[in-house]
Amino acid sequence: MKEEWTLKDVGDFWDSVKDYDEINKNTYSYFRRFIDGYKLIAVKDNAYLLDICCRTGKGTLYFSRKKKDKLKAVCMDPSKRFIELAETRLKKENINFKVRQFQELPLKIDGIIIPSKTFDNIICFESLEHMPSPKAFLNELQRVLKDDGELLLTTPNVLWEPLHWLAEKTKLHHSEGPSSFLTRRKIIKLFRKTRFIIKKERTTVLVPLGPEFLIIFGRYLENSIGEPIRKIFCLRRLFVCRKIKKIN
């Protein structure tokens, strides 16, 4: 965790995580972000999707398969290596996509600023906490999202930050790199300041890893307790937001 960093720092860090896919392929909580997120957000056939901070492209791949390839996607990430991995992965599928690196705002494709109100949906998994300026980042997502579009954003519960640190120190998981976990209250304030309305909210994953019986038990407890308790104890916060239309 650093007090100040840049998007280039974020990209350089993820470039250094050579075993990202290898680590996450057996991590139960990793795939839950896609499974739970898809259930919450409304994605129409032939939607134009922005997968921002796409890492190695697995979010776009999951959503495309669920929509039976009826998507057009732009995948963007600060990491050059992740972009290359995403392009290799998605080329194997019947997906209409582009992948581009970004290390500054506003977002650009081939040097041209992406026009306002371009995307039907935006998905952003576990990345708000890595942004040097979360407010500027959300403002940009609000700009490129259509008025009737939806943003799916997931981010860790700040209560779990010490466990992320411990997992990295004990080599159970990779480091989070430049980041600062945000409280739920701060996230909600940021949404309001950037003209987003929260349409749906859910908190998931009580047991993020372990033997199968423990994961099953954790899933049972997660489904048994109410959302007020999940908001306190579960690992991942999911928000589906719509933008507030600007009144001229």
How much is the pLDDT for 62? 97
Q: Which helix (H) or strand (E) holds 142?
A: helix 134-144
| CA nearest to 13, candidates 104, 107, 77 | 77
How much is the pLDDT for 248? 53
Unique residue bearing structure tokens 């959300």 = 138
CA 198 to the chain's CA centroid: 16
Backbone phi and psi for residue 52, each to the nearest 5 degrees, phi listed first = -90, 135
pLDDT in tens, the chain (248 residues): 556 899 999 999 999 999 899 988 888 999 999 999 999 999 999 999 999 999 999 999 999 999 988 999 999 999 999 999 999 999 999 899 999 999 999 999 999 999 999 999 999 999 999 999 999 999 999 999 999 899 999 999 999 876 656 656 655 556 788 999 999 999 999 999 999 999 999 999 999 888 999 999 999 999 999 999 999 999 999 999 999 876 55
The count of other CB atoms within 10 Å of the CB of residue 189 is 13
How much is the pLDDT for 76? 98
Q: Give the right CATH number for 7-243 from 1.10.10.10, 3.30.565.10, 3.60.21.10, 3.40.50.150.
A: 3.40.50.150
What are the extents of the domains in the chain? 7-243
Strands 71-77, 96-101: pairing kind: parallel
How much is the pLDDT for 122? 98
In sequence order, the β-bridge partners of residue 25 are: none
